[in-house]
Amino acid sequence: MATNKPTKPMISPPSTGDGDGSVVMERLTQKVQPPSMYQVVMLNDDYTPMEFVVVVIQEFFGKDLEAATQIMLKIHLDGRGVCGVYSKDIAATKVDQVMEAAHKAGHPLQCVSEPVDL
């Protein structure tokens, strides 16, 4: 059984008028929006020890002892405190890490992420 290979028709590129048969594509620049930012907020409760909150802030948000203590005091006095501002995925990961650490330690510490108001 002999079959012939199908032949592709020859299509020449559109002429640019310069006679060499080359095609020039025009580059379109696209405006890319920066990612939406989310703040990670810890909420105050009456049961989680302050020392635990300070350790969590140091471990998961890379703050030094003084900065972590200031954030913990803000949480304690105002009922909530911002621990950091990140892109959506990273903020969600930070929230999960804090919640898992609190759960493992047996503390009811709550942490949420919310969009940053610009």
Q: Is residue 9 predicted with pLDDT exceeding 80?
A: no
Q: Is residue 4 predicted with pLDDT exceeding 80?
A: no
SS3 100: helix
Q: Which helix (H) or strand (E) holds 67?
A: helix 65-78
Tokens 């907020």 sit at which residue? 41
With beta carbons less than 8 A apart as the criterion, state whether 39 and 82 touch.
Answer: yes
Span 30-54, pLDDT tens digits? 888 888 999 999 999 999 999 999 9
Show the domains of the chain with their CATH numbers.
48-115 (3.30.1390.10)
Q: Is residue 2 predicted with pLDDT exceeding 80?
A: no
Alpha carbon distance 80, 73 (integer Å): 9
Span 62-88, pLDDT tens digits? 999 999 999 999 999 999 999 999 999
pTM strictly above 0.75: no
